[in-house]
């Protein structure tokens, strides 16, 4: 329809170099793609590249960016991007081939432990689940009797293993060129021991992670409306005027304009109990919520 498409390809650096990985945004026909090289490409944190397809006037793009960006750019970040670019060009395919081998091995071994379920290509249906990034070690933990955030904390505090994130039902470990077989074996062993020492009966654990929103007001109207703070337990039936989300992954449990239900309150209380990092509302303890004043 004559519109340009800009892709947020934050975790997609390796799609340009890996084999048997999802199609990159530019190969799929995007006009521009913002690629966070620092996430999976090896540059320093907060550095990224904006890719432009043929037909995009790069000089005009630069002119527009200069309207909002600083003129005091970080040469440390820029040189790290250039070093990462060179490394990817020379070694990228081998780097990600090895990463995929490690993840495939870990997926098989962790699934053998029992209780854990490591997601894989079997979920792809070409529709709602179109393609799978095999470098991501995404593990469902609930059947071990442990929430993902609990496994995340145990890995960090008891075993010195820092992974990407944990939520109510899952953990995510990203395997990169910086990992060796030793790190993979340590992770597998730690997960096995965590299940043995801390696992239990999953009965009573929260099952549903998606709560269908009941949108009562437009978000902008609710956010700027007159509001009052009420205790979380007394907020059921009210219209929320702020965001509440577990971060990571940062998907809202509540957004401005949505009606608060008992399921939502139960979810928030469960997330707090399990140690999830909740963000969004003014009250960081989530003891009170701002709601639209009637």
User: What is residue 25's predicted lDDT score, i.e. its pLDDT?
Assistant: 96
For tokens 């790190």, the residue is 183
User: What is residue 269's predicted lDDT score, i.e. its pLDDT?
Assistant: 92
CB atoms within 10 A of CB 251: 11
CB atoms within 10 A of CB 31: 17
| pLDDT tops 80 at residue 114 | yes
Kindly give, in sequence order, each residue whose CB lies less than 8 Å from that of residue 89, ignoring residues fewer than 6 positions away: none
| pLDDT tops 90 at residue 211 | no
Domain boundaries defined on the chain? 6-84, 92-198, 219-292
- Binning pLDDT at 50, 70 and 90, where does residue 276 land? confident
Q: Please state the rounded mean pLDDT for residues 205-209.
A: 72
pTM metric for this prediction: 0.85
Q: Please state the rounded mean pLDDT for residues 131-139.
A: 92
User: What is residue 110's predicted lDDT score, i.e. its pLDDT?
Assistant: 97
Q: Give me the percent of the chain exceeding a pLDDT of 90.
A: 79
- Alpha carbon distance 85, 70 (integer Å): 23
Q: Please state the rounded mean pLDDT for residues 46-70.
A: 93
- In whole numbers, what is the pLDDT of the chain averaged over residues? 93
Q: What is the pLDDT of residues 212-233, one digit of tens each?
A: 899 999 999 999 999 999 999 9
- The reply to whether 219-292 shares the fold of 92-198 is no
3-state helix vs strand vs coil in the chain, percent to 5 = 40, 15, 45
For tokens 């395919």, the residue is 93
Which CATH architecture fits 219-292? Alpha-Beta Complex (3.90)
Which CATH architecture fits 92-198? Alpha-Beta Complex (3.90)
Contact 100, 135 (CB under 8 A): yes
Kindly give, in sequence order, each residue whose CB lies less than 8 Å from that of residue 68, ignoring residues fewer than 6 positions away: none
- What tokens does 278 get? 């909740």
Q: Give me the percent of the chain exceeding a pLDDT of 70.
A: 99
- Alpha carbon distance 54, 31 (integer Å): 8
The burial class, CB within 10 Å (0-12 / 13-18 / 19+), for 22 is: middle
Contact 46, 38 (CB under 8 A): yes
Q: What is the pLDDT of residues 145-195, one digit of tens each?
A: 999 999 999 999 999 999 999 988 999 999 988 889 999 999 999 999 999
For tokens 């639209």, the residue is 292
| pLDDT tops 90 at residue 61 | yes
- Binning pLDDT at 50, 70 and 90, where does residue 249 land? confident
């Amino acid at each position: 329809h004559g519109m340009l498409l800009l892709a947020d390809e934050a975790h997609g650096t390796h799609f340009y170099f890996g084999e048997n990985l999802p199609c990159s945004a530019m190969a799929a026909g995007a006009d521009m793609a913002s690629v966070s090289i620092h996430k999976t490409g090896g540059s320093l944190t907060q550095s990224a590249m904006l890719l432009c397809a043929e037909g995009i006037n790069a000089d005009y793009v630069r002119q527009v960016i200069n309207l909002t960006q600083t003129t005091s750019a970080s040469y440390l970040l820029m040189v790290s991007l250039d070093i990462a670019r060179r490394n990817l060009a020379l070694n990228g395919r081998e780097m990600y081939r090895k990463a995929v081998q490690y993840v495939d091995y870990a997926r098989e071994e962790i699934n053998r432990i029992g209780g854990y379920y490591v997601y894989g290509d079997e979920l792809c249906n070409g529709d709602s689940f179109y393609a799978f990034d095999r470098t991501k070690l995404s593990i469902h933990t609930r059947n071990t009797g442990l929430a993902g955030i609990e496994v995340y904390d145990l890995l960090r505090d008891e075993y010195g293993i820092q992974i990407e994130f944990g939520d109510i039902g899952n953990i995510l470990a990203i395997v990169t060129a910086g990992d060796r077989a030793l790190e993979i074996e340590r992770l597998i062993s730690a997960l096995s021991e965590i299940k043995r020492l801390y696992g239990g009966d999953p009965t009573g654990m929260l099952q549903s992670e998606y709560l269908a929103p009941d949108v009562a007001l437009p978000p902008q109207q609710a956010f700027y409306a007159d509001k009052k703070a009420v205790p979380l337990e007394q907020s059921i039936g009210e219209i929320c005027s702020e965001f509440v989300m577990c971060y990571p992954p940062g998907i809202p449990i509540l957004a401005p304009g949505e009606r608060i239900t008992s399921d939502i309150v139960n979810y928030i209380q469960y997330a707090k109990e399990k140690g999830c990092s909740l963000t969004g509302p003014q009250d960081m303890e989530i003891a009170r919520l701002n709601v639209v004043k009637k």
